[in-house]
Structure 1
Amino acid sequence: MKKVKLPLTINPRKDAQHRADYEGVFVNAQLKRLGEIVRQVQSDAQITLSLGIDSQGLTVMKGTAQVDVELECQRCGNPFSQTLECNFSFSPVSNMDQADNLPEIYEPMELNEFGEVNLLDIIIDEFILNLPLVPKHDDEHCEVSVADMVFGEIPDEEAKKPNPFAVLANLKK
């Protein structure tokens, strides 16, 4: 399939009336904001979108997005590749006060003064939300062994230190 560049902005209400579908890419160079957070963006972002009107009469934009990024392992400090995949369901609102009226399955997306949304920003936001909280290799691929990861043990020299509150025990008598 031929890679087609997606438009930067779309009018979701008009596209939903026409039941528009988009399938294409945002090229690596367009993902600058994501590139500032990860070590490197390794591929173009593959996007599929479907716009329509649901049974409640709400405009809905559903889709998937995928991109390969390089992250830094927080255990060993070495880079590793990860594919960020996200599924989303949005419904446009004129202002964020209307967001409380949406069903929970839809995330609000605010329209600009022309009734459009910035599709690139929405997709980058979804990728950022799908980044791991603590990026790390799988245990079997990480250079830090399980023996090096010790939690909660107090070294012996700490146990031999005198208690600084022992003097207070004499005052109590």
Structure 2
Amino acid sequence: MQKVKLPKRLDPVKSANKRSDYRGVILASDMPRLLGMVAGVASEIDVDVKFAKDEQGLTYFQGRMACSTSLRCERCNEVFEHPMDVSFCFSPVQGSEEEVEDELPDVYEPVEVDDHGEINLFQCLEDELILSLPIVALHAEEDCKQKRDKMSFGKIEPADERPNPFAVLKELKRD
């Protein structure tokens, strides 16, 4: 199957009614926030998205994304490859009404639609990729150039023992 570029904005309800199924790519250059958080990203991000309605009549879209990113190791400051494979499942909601979000089943993540009932698909998927990044980027210990025995962490000096300012009140209580 040929890889195609996905639409940036779309109406999830109309797509669910048509049971649309998108398989394509998003260019890494279309995700500037992700590019700012990593050392590099493969030029294309593979995406599969399926729009449907569940038994309750709720519109949802689910799928997966896969790409290869380069992260900078926090220990040795070297760049290493980090493959990402992210699954997602969203349900569109109108506005940021907490009542609507509370009624959604836990399997769906709410995504807000604009005044025209559309979503920015690239932005939703970029958010998911950013959330899937590791909190602290580290090599595996055996691959890292900074070995455990060469790391120094320093010594913590003991805190000054200051008298308790409320000790005087304790003396007053005894009387």
TM-score, scaled relative to structure 1: 0.85
* Percent identity of equivalent pairs: 37
Secondary structure (helix, strand or coil) at the match of 1:7 reads coil
Please name the residue that 2:165 is paired with. Answer: none
> For the Cα contact (< 8 Å) 2:65–2:85, is it kept in 1?
yes
> For the Cα contact (< 8 Å) 1:28–1:43, is it kept in 2?
yes
Please name the residue that 1:126 is paired with. Answer: 128
Please name the residue that 2:107 is paired with. Answer: 105
Over 3 Å counting, the alpha-carbon distance change for 1:94 and 1:149 in structure 2 is same
Please name the residue that 2:48 is paired with. Answer: 48
RMSD of the TM alignment (CA)? 2.1
Over 3 Å counting, the alpha-carbon distance change for 1:56 and 1:150 in structure 2 is farther
Please name the residue that 1:86 is paired with. Answer: 86
User: Aligned partners of 2:83, 2:10: CA distance in 1, in Å?
Assistant: 26
Structure 1: gaps of 5 or more residues: 166-173
1:92-133 Cα deviation digits (max 9, x unpaired): 001121211101110001111111100000010000000000
The amino acid of 1:14's aligned partner reads K
The amino acid of 1:118's aligned partner reads N
How many residue pairs get aligned? The number is 160
Deviates more, 1:109-118 or 1:95-104: 95-104
Question: What's the CA shift for 1:134?
Answer: 0.1
Please name the residue that 1:147 is paired with. Answer: 149
Question: What's the CA shift for 1:27?
Answer: 1.2
User: Aligned partners of 1:154, 1:29: CA distance in 2, in Å?
Assistant: 45
Structure 2: gaps of 5 or more residues: 162-175
TM-score, scaled relative to structure 2: 0.84
The amino acid of 1:134's aligned partner reads V
Please name the residue that 1:169 is paired with. Answer: none
Structure 1 segments, 4+ long, off by >4 Å, are none
